[in-house]
Amino acid sequence: MATINLATIAFTVPSTTILTTNTPKEFSVCNTSPQSAANGGFCCNFVAPAGTTWITFEMWGGGSGGGGACCCMQSTQGGGAGSYAIKTINCGTTGGLAGASYTICAAGSGNCAGACYGCGGYTSYVNGPGLSNFCAQPARSGDTHCFAGDGYYIPCVMCFYCCACGGDINISGANGSALTTQYCFSYSYGYTAVAAATVSGPVINGGQCGTGGGANGVYGYGIVPGGGGQNATSYGGGCCWGGFGNQGQVSVTYG
């Protein structure tokens, strides 16, 4: 068999084509003070630029807050997380969405609560062409009870609550739960929910007495975006504030 010298063979390498048109772009809408209670969220108007063919909205509702505590009150259900929804609008023709106008509102954080029931979270939503009732609501707020383990029935662990609507995928927010005790001198542990498509969870807190999200800035407020706030726990002492549920967010990708 004849030997072939590869050095004498000419190879043709096709030139590399780099697509520079319709490159996806993205931004997020949220308040820039996630560690501030009642930050008010953020709303804006987005007008799709020339050449836009598709838009994806990914959205989280605000988390609900935890309950406060006095004397011998313990966590019975940590703050619930915000719901999650994602929706893609695809017009199928180049530039067909240019000029489409969308109102985008990301939910704000809730207030801290001194009462045994936490403050409810807020709803994120987007209005505009191709969308119908597209929103992500909060789940149930946290609550505390006196001697919570003494015959108090906790209905479920991490139940799914209300509600996400209008998306291609809709995931309801999850409620928190707790491991209780009937003794004032023992710790109970609250399970605080986190929102879908954020971090793994839930967040566990126990024996903490926070004021406005924690006197040392560590305890209380929820995971960003959409995390529920922690319940306060008190063991024969003074009153404590529950942590606030954290803000919602809307992320936009288009091209």
| Residue type at 188 in one-letter notation | S
Q: Is 71 helix (H, G, I), strand (E, B) or coil?
A: strand
Assigned domain for 8 exists: no
Assigned domain for 1 exists: no
Assigned domain for 215 exists: yes
Interval 234-248: pLDDT, tens:
777 678 888 889 999
Assigned domain for 225 exists: yes
Helix (H) or strand (E) holding 77: strand 73-77
Assigned domain for 5 exists: no
Question: How many domains, the chain?
Answer: 1
For residues 231 and 127, the model is more confident at: 127
Assigned domain for 15 exists: no
Q: Residue 69 sits in which domain range?
A: 24-255
Interval 131-158: pLDDT, tens:
999 999 998 888 887 866 655 545 455 5
Assigned domain for 213 exists: yes
Assigned domain for 70 exists: yes
For residues 107 and 175, the model is more confident at: 107
Q: Are strands 73-77 and 143-146 parallel, antiparallel or unpaired?
A: antiparallel
The CB density around residue 109, as the number of other CB atoms within 10 Å, is 33
